Amino acid sequence: MKTAWVEPGFFQTLGVSAARGRTFSQDDTTSGLAPLSGGQLSPDTARVVVVSHAAWQRLFAGDPNAVGRDVPINGIVRKIIGVLPRDFVAPMGQADIYFAFDLGPVRAHAIAGRRSSWLGFIARLKPGVTHETAQRELAAIGAELAREYPESNGNLELATMPLRDAMLGDTRTPLLVLMASAGLVLFIACANLAGALLTRTLARRKEFAVRAALGAGNGRLIRQLLTESAVLALAGGVTGLLLAAFLLAFLRGLALPALPAYADLSLDAGAVLVTAVLALGTGFAFGLAPALSIGRADPQATLRDESRSATESRHSRRLRGALASGQMALCISLLAGAGLLARSLWSMTSAPLGFEPNGVLTAFIQLPPRDYPTPEARARFYQQFLERLRTLPGVEAVANGTSIPTAVRSRMPFTIDGAPWPGTEAPLVLFASVSDDYFRTLGIPIRKGRTFDAQDHAGTPAVVVISESMARRYWAGGEALGARIRIGPTLMEVVGIVGDVRNDPARREAEPMAYSLTRQNPWPIASFLLRAPGEPMALVRSVERELAAMDAGLPLDLPMTLNEAVGEKLASRRLPVFLMSAFGALALLLASVGVYAMFASMAAEREREFGVRLALGSRPRAIAGLVLRQGALWMAAGLAGGALGIVMVVRFVRELLYSVGPFDPLALGVAVTTVMTVAIMAALLPAVRASRIDPARALRAE
């Protein structure tokens, strides 16, 4: 279960009321959980809890009598006082159970409290107060604290962010890219629709001329054509909804790991309404040009022209060519973006992580403060559990730490003893507490010095191991061994330098990082890593059995392979690549069909002209050349439009690129070559067909 500690005003600030029961009041905060310096915890005496709607359904089967029930949580009996609404989403991520706490324990330890930075704040602005005004006021408060308390608050920076932006995180850009990709495919489909309707309208021009001669007005004819195009668009929208319903389960499994916790992928009434509006809108918009072309036609001239092979108007020919070149331009733009993202993902996944994730099982354990109240008790439990895990068959190495390599979130200010930083701001470095075999288990190389061993324990001076990038950045020549640094309130000696680890696989460079020893700094939450030559997940039951033998009340949380953890970090990058590539393939298919249909219809309209030329002695090769030259002009226009489209696409995907230039020649070259090859093939077929026309048949045709 996921838990969260919030002040009583949390739900009121968000404007959230309980669906059942109530939320917290000030009387509920006897003295909640409050981490202090060095991993110390204040007593957990919270007696009431609020549960999420999902936890209420999962743990209590939606029982209305769950409110008011006493349940044991972390070894303490608590009372459920409320159930949150179904659609509530917490700003810091979803939790199953919420505890109430106050800041009393932190205020009671002023020095430790000032050095703590584990709390986040949410505030509702007064009417008329802008975000910029709030940021200026908060920055002034931060500057005042830095002047009054330079040692603990000198590097403190207070910043505000709209809640919506904080909850969206880094998903805004990928979602915008996907929306733009879907829009490009929609435009290509609309161009196809417009081209098909134009061809069909020209083929029916004699029918409309007869109707006009019998008294039908232009408005009536235009309404008929717009109705037909709208029906076609609605049929396409219904087909799209059916396909979406069929593919939704697959898309949900692919997309949810990359989206915010509150994202809900479903075909609700809003999605259906938007689809219907878009279908009608595109049907009317792209059926308008073919409809208006009928209104401009002269019925008498059309009826006098008995030949079916009359040359189409220059306006219609230009419109068809523009639609064909537009489809090529859009397709080039979309494929270029997909190629850049694919190249970026390949570079991201093939770049060294700094550790070896294959064959590693990870899982988390959270020790209840009531049963393990002291650092000594937690250190003793971890050591005994590690010894048990080492005896499991097939286990090659075991380690634990405050987090796995791809999920280190703690950033701590550090200073070099005897060498204070200029000004007041100390740099922040990633920080984790790990066991002796952590580096060996993960295959992180030792560059200089040593890592942790048995001589380092709670009664000896604190030691720290740092990464290469930290040594290079903050010590001249990287000579950091033996230096004494202060991380947070603790003074430590640098005993080793290890290879860099890319904590975030989506970042180009590894961040500076420091590692302390778990025995000297045991936290209540720990991740365990087991390396085995076989399938890591096969060890889960054995690990759970050993954990139950030590403490039957402790659950093993989130068991997964380290490869899966790395994949989750890359999920937000894989989603745009996959969907944009799928959109690109669909766009290529639509564009190839549309371009071929338009070139073929343009050639068919000139069939009688080609028959006359052949009858007068022109060679078939010359006829094919006429068709190809006409197609080449529109291909060149499509290529020019594609170049402009690439510039626009690069602006969208630039932030998502990794070790790939925005105008990567390979990605762009493949995109242009693919579209132009398809376009040339689409033009060749009508050219060959035109060169094989029978002049006698063409001249006899009506």
User: How confident is the model over 371-386, as a mean pLDDT?
Assistant: 88
Residue with the larger pLDDT of the pair 468 and 319 = 468
Kindly report which listed range (261-265, 279-283, 652-656, 663-667) carries the lowest average pLDDT score: 261-265
Strongest mean pLDDT among 35-49, 57-71, 159-173, 175-189:
57-71
Share of the chain above pLDDT 90, in %: 14
Whether the pLDDT of residue 147 is over 90: the answer is: no
Which residues, at least 6 apart from 666, have a Cβ–Cβ distance to it below 8 Å?
Answer: 339, 343
- Tokens 């005993």 belong to 495
Work out the average pLDDT over 8-15: 86
The ranges assigned to domains in the chain are: 3-124, 169-350+571-700, 368-553
Per residue in 41-82, pLDDT (tens digit) is 445 567 888 998 888 988 888 888 888 888 887 667 888 999
Residue 35 has pLDDT above 50, yes or no: no
What mean pLDDT is predicted for residues 475-486?
Answer: 86
Mean pLDDT, to the nearest integer, of 18-33? 75
Token digits of residue 611: 């028959």
* Residue listed under structure tokens 């930290």: 470
pLDDT at 592: 84
pLDDT at residue 335 above 80? yes
Tell me whether strands 484-487 and 525-531 are parallel, antiparallel or unpaired.
unpaired
How large is the average pLDDT for residues 315-322?
74
Q: What's the mean pLDDT in 99-110?
A: 68
533 or 174: which carries more pLDDT confidence? Answer: 533
pLDDT digits (tens, 9 = 90+) for 402-431: 888 888 878 887 888 876 665 556 778 889
Residue of 516 and 119 predicted with greater confidence: 516
Both tokens of residue 361? 């099982």
Q: What phi and psi values does residue 45 have, to the nearest 5 degrees? A: -125, 20
CB 362 within 8 A of CB 561: yes
**Contact at 8 Å (CB) between 387 and 92?**
no
**β-pair partners for 20:** 83
The three-class DSSP label of residue 364 is strand
Torsion of CA 515, 519, 520, 522, to 10 degrees: 80
Asked whether residue 38 carries a pLDDT value surpassing 60, the answer given is no
**Per-residue pLDDT reduced to its tens digit, 205-257:** 677 777 777 777 777 777 777 888 888 888 888 888 888 778 777 776 666 66
pLDDT tens for each residue of 516-540: 998 888 888 889 999 998 889 999 9
Spatial CB neighbours of 61, under 8 Å, sequence gap ≥ 6:
none
**Cβ proximity of 363 and 543 under 8 Å:** yes
Least confident span in 133-147, 184-198, 575-589 = 184-198
Q: Is the pTM for the entire model greater than 0.85?
A: no
CB contact at 8 A, 463 and 492: yes
* Whether the Cβ atoms of residue 81 and residue 157 lie closer than 8 Å to each other: no
How much is the pLDDT for 319?
A: 75
Those residues whose C-beta lies under 8 Å from the C-beta of residue 572, and which sit 6 or more positions away, are: 170, 171, 174, 257, 258, 506
Average pLDDT over the chain, rounded to whole? 80
| pLDDT category of residue 567 using cuts at 50, 70 and 90 | confident
| 85 and 61 Cβ atoms separated by less than 8 Å | no
